Structure 1
Amino acid sequence: MKLIYQQMLAFLAVIATVLILLGLSFSKSTRTMVYMNTWSTMEKYANSLVEQSVRVSSQDNGRVTFDTNALESSELLLQNQSVHFTVYNAKNTVTFPDNVNTAKISATDWRKLKRGEIVHKVSDRNMRLQNGQTQPAMTDVLKPYFYTDSHNKRRLIAVVKVGSFISDINTNINQINKNLIKPLIISSLVALGIAFLLASFSNSRINRLRRATKQVSEGNYDVKLKTKHRDEIDDLTNDFNGMIKSLKESQDEIKRQEERRRTFMADAAHEIRTPLTTINGLLEGLAYDAIPEESKDQSIKLMRNETKRLIRLVNENLDYEKIRANQIGLNKQEFDAVDALNNLVEQLQQKAEAKNDTLELQIPKQISVYADYDRFVQIMFNITQNAIQFTDNGQITINAQRGFEESIFKISDTGIGMTSEQLSNIWERYYKADPSRRNTKYGESGLGLAIVHQLVQQHNGKIEVTSKPDAGTTFTIIFPDKFQSKNS
């Protein structure tokens, strides 16, 4: 069954239940009200009968007599209204009418009457009288009347029972119920229409979500539904919008990673193909004596260099994977970095001079650092070599200082710099900010900064880069002290 019909049935069931309960309650209240009005009217009849027919003689010790003519006149009048009455004397004997065989009032009711209580009785079934006749079901009011003599003594003088046929009362009740049925039917139809409108409204909002879901399943992640934050469907719509946003971000990240994968494969293939092509060409030249004798030593030297380049490339890849998988154990200790930095400058001085660069150290006489010595040298070496690679006729400055429970190292250059887009990718394998420098004198593979980034993270440190095109680049590396490193 469709949701709209389920909602309509639910709404209709609730409304129908309410209407039925209201109808039953109203019908019961109406029945009670009709009986109360009937009893009230019959009490008034009883009062009128007593006033017209009962005579109490104050001279004859309060003797009670009944005016039969007045009672007969009242009987004729009340019969036209389907009202019947019986008068009992103080001895529970029928005084009027004398031609009807009426049973005495029960002892229980008589005790109530003597206490001055008015008794209401309802008989839902026809009653068989002593003369064999059947009396229709009636509702009766038994009302006592008292006389207070000169001695202030109160005594019962008469009981009047006034009755009306229940069939007449039920006729009135049925008529009221019939009049109630029509409004109930109209209310039900109106409720059905309202239920349909409410169900259609809710269903349309759900269908909107379904259409949006279908668009997403077809690959459209730009769907966004408007909400007014009113109810649970709007909350679901907000969750749907959040899900679409996450899916879009995931899809964009997948595309970006796929692009990086293709670039990585292309760069890796290029880095490996270049030395292999060189080696293969030289081997073929040697095999077919295409290389002059005086050039063979140079060719062999070139093949050695290309072979070393391949070995270095493979080692760097293995080194990177081990670092990223946290498979390299760091032997961290506290040492003075001054000697390590001086040795670093000596090693790279020749490369810097080849680019007409100046290497400058700005460090104190002593600078302690908590790190793995060999990996610290590797980090500083790779960054400094990277600075030399992208700086011509400039200056590379290595600065070191102590911070609060940390050691801070800065390597600045005056080279070509990088754009914000290039900065966001420098930690990727084989990424080069300047692709034109793939085949440099030193055979950089593009793995150096990726390894640096992983090693700094292994030290629980931080590395930041600031750069502007044609304005140089500054790398800031922070090594936390022993206590801070353990808590990181």
Structure 2
Amino acid sequence: MKFLYQQLLAFLALIVVTVGTLSILFFHLSKQMVYENAWNQMEGYAFTLKNEALDITKKSGQAVIRLNVTELQTAEKLLYSQHTRFTIYTANNEIMYPKKTKQISNAAISKEDWEDLQRGKIIRNRNEVRPNTSSIDVDKTANKNIKIIDIYTPCFDSNGNLVAVIMVGEDISTLSDAVNRISQNLVVIFAIALIIGVFLSTIIAHYLTKRITKLRQATSLVADGNFDVEISTNERDEIDKLSSDFNSMVTSLRESSEEIKRQERRREEFFADAAHEMRTPLTTINGLLEGLAYDVIPEESKEKSIELMRSETNRLIRLVNKNLDYERIRAGNIALNKSEFGVQGVVSNIVSQLESKAEEVGDKFEINIPKNLKVYADYDRFVQIIFNVTQNAIQFTNDGLIKISAEKGFNELIIHISDTGIGMEEKDLKNIWERYYKADESRTNTKYGESGLGLSIVHKLIELHGGKVDVVSKKNVGTTFTLIFPDKDED
């Protein structure tokens, strides 16, 4: 379907829904007001009958009802002209007044309604079509069905026991006719609005479609690979804004074309790296297993072979666990158990664990952290963050110095981890948080930098803590990571 017709249908649908909804609401409210006024009026009649024509006394502990027949007959004559009748029921659900020939309803009150009446509830009924057996208005409604609304009002004695029920019913056929006339007028109004809507919708839809056609033609050119398209815009309305956004989109597509190619290269490198990382330990394990199976490994070397297989297996487990951990963190499927604890003790423990690795490449540590300085974070994840950044510093530093310091900021803790290693270029700083990215490809297979996931995990964990991480680096000078953890929110 062409856009012109879609717009036309949209405008028409809007008009139909709006006018239709307003009509239905108006009709419903008018009808409801008719019923509400009639019910309130009948409740007033029932209250008057109870006070003026019913005398509830006690005799031998039992409630006795005396009817003032004169008052009831007078009320009956007055209500007759308003197409209204009433019936009085006893506590045994039997009709007490009037005589059967004048009753508006011969039916007993249902068990469910009776239970509601005993709880003091006034029952309202409407739109009950009944044969005209009561002759509410002989001249106008004879031999016709009448539409009745009624109420049932409970009457209690001084002990709160239900002793009588007054039912007041009214013929609302005349009122229903008035409501029907209102609905007919609404239909006419609806038809007129629809005709006007068709005319206006056609003009507006044609105007909009003409402008959107230009966008469609430009989009076709972009789909064919032409990113030099530009649409003139005057910023008058949303379509001009859309045209402006389209121009921005084309510019972004042009700029991202190279980025897509770069990401594709990264994807290929990722699969190659992952395959290489797994193939090496798997090849080692497989060779050793074959040697053990064919008993070609000397007895004195078996223990060393088993230890090597264990080491390679742990390497695979670390690689898989880091991938799984990264995905859980990225998806937000971990819960942080934050608490306050000292920074110095944690950092000292981490340095002790990494000291042997640092000594292998000639690195030394320098720690400058106040003893009473505390951080509000998840303990295990905090350890993981500091460990990964420090290990990264060891990986890219030979015969250098790794400094770890911390200070109190404004409602935050600031940790600096710096090294005197090989540093990074500007282009590397933009990508170090990406999974499997390695700034120095010559160190892809280093002993402590095998996965390229450490900094990606650090970045995600800092974000989960509500903090931030910044990195400054200079080629052949060194790198400094700044980690910021917000304090506990007192609110």
Identify the TM-score tier after normalising by the shorter chain.
0.5 to 0.7
CA–CA distance in structure 2, aligned partners of residues 453 and 345 of structure 1: 21
Counterpart position of 1:363: 369
Quickly say closer, same or farther: Cα 1:237–1:373, change in 2 above 3 A.
closer
CA–CA distance in structure 1, aligned partners of residues 487 and 236 of structure 2: 54
Deviation at 1:296, TM superposition (A): 2.6
Counterpart position of 1:341: 347
Counterpart position of 1:405: 411
CA–CA distance in structure 2, aligned partners of residues 385 and 454 of structure 1: 17
Quickly say closer, same or farther: Cα 1:236–1:280, change in 2 above 3 A.
closer
Deviation at 1:316, TM superposition (A): 1.2
Quickly say closer, same or farther: Cα 1:224–1:275, change in 2 above 3 A.
same
CA–CA distance in structure 2, aligned partners of residues 293 and 281 of structure 1: 16
Note the alpha carbon deviations across 1:54-94, whole angstroms, 9 max, x for none.
xxxxxxxxxxxxxxxxxxxxxxxxxxxxxxxxxxxxxxxxx
The aligned amino acid for 1:410 is H
The aligned amino acid for 2:477 is A
Deviates more, 1:216-225 or 1:244-253: 244-253
SS, match of residue 431 in structure 2: coil
Note the alpha carbon deviations across 1:347-404, whole angstroms, 9 max, x for none.
1111111111111101112211000111111110111111011100100000111001
Q: Do residues 268 (structure 1) and 278 (structure 2) align? A: no
SS, match of residue 283 in structure 1: helix
Counterpart position of 2:220: 214
Map 1:33-432 to 2 at 5 A. Answer: 212-225=218-231, 237-248=243-254, 254-432=260-438
Note the alpha carbon deviations across 1:83-129, whole angstroms, 9 max, x for none.
xxxxxxxxxxxxxxxxxxxxxxxxxxxxxxxxxxxxxxxxxxxxxxx
Quickly say closer, same or farther: Cα 1:235–1:386, change in 2 above 3 A.
closer
Deviation at 1:274, TM superposition (A): 1.5
Structure 1, unmatched stretches of 5+, are 1-202
Is the Cα–Cα contact under 8 Å of residues 417 and 472 in structure 1 kept in the other structure? Answer: yes
SS, match of residue 333 in structure 1: strand
Deviation at 1:270, TM superposition (A): 1.8
Deviates more, 1:221-230 or 1:303-312: 221-230
CA–CA distance in structure 1, aligned partners of residues 449 and 313 of structure 2: 12
Aligned length: 286
CA–CA distance in structure 1, aligned partners of residues 320 and 398 of structure 2: 29
Note the alpha carbon deviations across 1:144-179, whole angstroms, 9 max, x for none.
xxxxxxxxxxxxxxxxxxxxxxxxxxxxxxxxxxxx
CA–CA distance in structure 2, aligned partners of residues 233 and 315 of structure 1: 50
CA–CA distance in structure 2, aligned partners of residues 233 and 344 of structure 1: 58
CA–CA distance in structure 2, aligned partners of residues 438 and 319 of structure 1: 21
Deviation at 1:237, TM superposition (A): 4.6
Is the Cα–Cα contact under 8 Å of residues 443 and 449 in structure 2 kept in the other structure? Answer: no
TM-score (norm 1): 0.53
CA–CA distance in structure 1, aligned partners of residues 241 and 450 of structure 2: 54
Deviation at 1:289, TM superposition (A): 3.8
CA–CA distance in structure 2, aligned partners of residues 229 and 419 of structure 1: 41
The aligned amino acid for 1:429 is R
SS, match of residue 397 in structure 1: strand
Q: Do residues 466 (structure 1) and 472 (structure 2) align? A: yes
Provide the alpha-carbon RMSD of the alignment: 3.1
Quickly say closer, same or farther: Cα 1:222–1:281, change in 2 above 3 A.
farther
Is the Cα–Cα contact under 8 Å of residues 282 and 303 in structure 1 kept in the other structure? Answer: yes
Point out the structure with max Rg over C-alpha: 1
Quickly say closer, same or farther: Cα 1:371–1:210, change in 2 above 3 A.
closer
Is the Cα–Cα contact under 8 Å of residues 309 and 443 in structure 1 kept in the other structure? Answer: no
Quickly say closer, same or farther: Cα 1:377–1:235, change in 2 above 3 A.
closer
The aligned amino acid for 1:347 is Q
Structure 2, unmatched stretches of 5+, are 1-208
SS, match of residue 448 in structure 2: coil
Deviates more, 1:317-326 or 1:211-220: 211-220
